[in-house]
A and B are shown apart, each in its own frame.
Chain A
């Protein structure tokens, strides 16, 4: 057992913190370039592709700072996810070049996997890929894509065979965003971050666009989902810290009834409960980070699901209390806790919400695997 950051990890935390505390700017491209300069964009990629082979703890370190500063940096969608996927794909010259370009910030890529009716089910892919004489043709629609403006490459999941939900038959493709038939539409989510949907109609791809198929594709998607979930837990911890700090500071300064409101024990206890929620979330973020690479799929998802359920609960509790303890100012657009609150509500539904992960745990017999079941779960085909 060793729960201390290494020297490198401490340095990383310091430098990300410095970067994001200096840049309150809204220019996402500029922040992205600064991330590249710091080496953050090389971090999630394996060494043999020219990456820095950072682990899940490193990704959480970056995301914790992103959360603390409520920075609008699509690090998970454009770095962590692609890193986890490409790391499991057979290495080619094209991939090496792409990774090098991503690392230096000259090109961008993001994962386009989610679909309208998937509801967190990893294997729910309706988008079709057909083999043709000259390669593949893709048709379908991808949603909920966390990306950066003008993204260059999409990593798209599509089905070569089978029906939505089948664990076999899925393939991954590298799709340049400017290909004919690719239509990307972006929209702002309620927390101010940008999401995209992509329509694919008769998108023709050469044979070498295929990154992985079948078991390999599913394993890569599973890993990206796990790594992303872990990373978003880091972001959650950063936001929780920020909300607790802001609230405690406010309790000390806001005067009512002739003194600071922090002298009221009812509010002190609420703040203490927020602290407990933060500490428990920190513990579960740690659990997520060390569980992403567990070889046993069931064990891995038991831990990740537990982490996400707990962190969602902490986000909800701390978010609600942070707003409440600020009074009216807490529900305004200009107040930071109000913005934090919106972000927490989006994170709650990133990479599986509480309903989903409780159902995952239910299927797997609970966290300890000790809950037997005689009757099959309600037959609505939910895959972990």
Chain B
């Protein structure tokens, strides 16, 4: 029984750390931990730097252009990026659509899409959710009618993050309205420049335009852009949603926020001296640290189990990681804003003009407001509890 990383794993961690230190562009570093979302340009820039090193698709197998990391290396790699923090390799491309294409796509599709997905030449967005299909995703109604070697797609997607900057959308559509709801769904790749697509912004409470509504009116999609078999899309979607879930605790992200809250607190005087001496503040930091430590070890235990089982199936216990991970992301973001106090009030203003204290607290509000979505997307906390109750406890 040994919880520590091997010498090779520690050497690898140091290598990743050094790589980030030496290669993360200064302008991106300056924003790190102070913004809720990185801009597209930042994400692309960092993604390309990682790709040049062979690291962008950290959990893809070698034969598809991945670096051949072990599960532990993948975990270390992701956590180091979150801790820095750097932009993350685009999840839609790397965690979601890429593995679907190399697992279920035709040779022609692999040849056309895989390297562009990996290198981020093509930015993908995820067109799953609809106004009537949120947690109950299989209730989706966007239809795809076959006409020769094209599908005619009609319907509406919602919460389509980054659709306004995306080149492609991977999309679930209904190809058989008569079948049972999970059985009439297909998985299409849709070029966002296709006529008939309208993208409308949704502004979230953090003031950001990150997500969108996407309207599809008689959008023509070549049948060649369907992944796998017609009406089997639900299987691919389940595969996609279950893929690579050990990183979802995002412990490093929360740790980074706690660190920032502590250093911010060092410079803030309250009734009884520095905020770092305040008993209530210290308790909250410590309790969060304990929770994060438990989460980190739970993630490692799940990785260890997967490594031994080695069948690539998602572990239902990873619902614990999503559930507690999202909660600790929120708690750490809340802590940051609580430390900032009223200096955290600005959301979008010239902070330098307001004063140094405001500049120090930059992003605290946006990060806190943005974090509220963490327990909603990617399977809400309530859905994770359903999964545990049914899938693990048999209730």
Contacts and interface: CB of A to CB of B under 8 A. Distances in A.
B293 A284 contact: yes
B11 interface: no
Interface string A247-258: 010011000000
A286 B1 contact: yes
Interface stretch (B199-207, B300-308, B345-353): B300-308
Contacts of A269: 382, 385-386, 389
Nearest to A261: B395
B301 A282 contact: yes
B6 interface: yes
Contacts of B2: 1-3, 290
Contact of A3 (B273, B301, B390): B301
Given A284-B297, A362-B286, A371 B3 contact: no
Interface of A is mostly: helix
Nearest to B75: A1
Given A1-B300, A3-B300, A268-B389, A287 B293 contact: yes
Contacts, number: 150
B9 interface: yes
A368 B262 CA distance: 11
A290 B295 contact: no
Contacts of B286: 358, 361-362, 366-367, 371
Interface string B280-312: 001101110111011101101100110010000
B395 A290 contact: no
A74 interface: no
The residue among A284, A290, A367 with the most chain B CB atoms within 10 A of its own CB is A367
Given A310-B290, A374-B273, A374-B277, A358 B283 contact: yes
A275 interface: yes
Contact of A280 (B276, B295, B389, B392): B295
B190 to A, nearest CB: 36
Contacts of A282: 298, 301
B291 A310 contact: yes
A262 interface: yes
Contact of B386 (A263, A268, A309): A268
A94 interface: no
A368 B257 CA distance: 13
B335 to A, nearest CB: 12
A251 to B, nearest CB: 6
A251 B259 CA distance: 42
Interface in B94-151: none
Contact of B294 (A1, A5, A284, A371): A284
A248 B297 contact: no
B4 A279 contact: no
B317 interface: yes
Interface in A331-374: 358, 361-362, 366-368, 370-374
Contacts of A272: 384-386, 388-389, 392-393
B297 to A, nearest CB: 4
B301 A283 contact: yes
Contacts of A248: 393-395
Contact of A273 (B290, B295, B385): B385
A276 interface: yes
B9 A371 contact: no
Contact of A279 (B273, B276, B290, B317): B317
A197 interface: no
A367 B3 contact: no
Interface residues of A, number: 49
Contacts of B3: 1, 3, 286-287, 290
B173 interface: no
A336 to B, nearest CB: 18
A290 B2 CA distance: 7
A275 B1 contact: no
A306 interface: yes
A367 B290 contact: yes
A280 B300 contact: no
A286 B3 CA distance: 8
B298 A280 contact: yes
Contacts of B291: 280, 310
Interface in A218-275: 244, 248, 251-252, 262-263, 265, 267-269, 271-273, 275
Nearest to B303: A1
Interface in A1-46: 1-6, 9
Interface in B313-350: 317, 320, 323-324
A276 B293 CA distance: 14
Given A271-B395, A276-B388, A5 B1 contact: yes
A372 B283 CA distance: 13
Contacts of B229: none
Nearest to B387: A272
Nearest to A361: B286
Given A284-B297, A373-B276, A268 B385 contact: yes
B177 interface: no
A80 interface: no
Interface string B339-383: 000000000000000000000000000000000000000000010
A268 B391 CA distance: 11
B57 to A, nearest CB: 23
B181 to A, nearest CB: 21
The 8 A-B pairs at the shortest CB distance, nearest first, are namely A283-B297, A268-B389, A272-B388, A367-B289, A272-B385, A280-B294, A3-B304, A269-B385
Interface of A: 1-6, 9, 55, 57, 244, 248, 251-252, 262-263, 265, 267-269, 271-273, 275-276, 279-284, 286-287, 289-290, 306, 309-310, 358, 361-362, 366-368, 370-375
30 contacts: A1-B2, A4-B308, A251-B395, A263-B395, A268-B389, A269-B382, A269-B386, A271-B388, A271-B389, A271-B393, A272-B385, A272-B389, A273-B385, A275-B320, A275-B393, A279-B320, A283-B301, A284-B293, A284-B294, A310-B294, A361-B289, A362-B279, A362-B286, A366-B286, A367-B290, A371-B276, A372-B276, A373-B276, A374-B273, A375-B273
Given A1-B300, A287-B297, A310-B294, 15 more contacts: A1-B304, A2-B1, A3-B3, A4-B1, A4-B304, A9-B1, A262-B395, A265-B389, A272-B392, A276-B324, A280-B324, A290-B2, A306-B290, A371-B262, A371-B282
Interface of B: 1-6, 9, 72, 255, 259, 262, 266, 273-274, 276-277, 279, 282-283, 285-287, 289-291, 293-295, 297-298, 300-301, 304-305, 308, 317, 320, 323-324, 382, 384-386, 388-390, 392-395
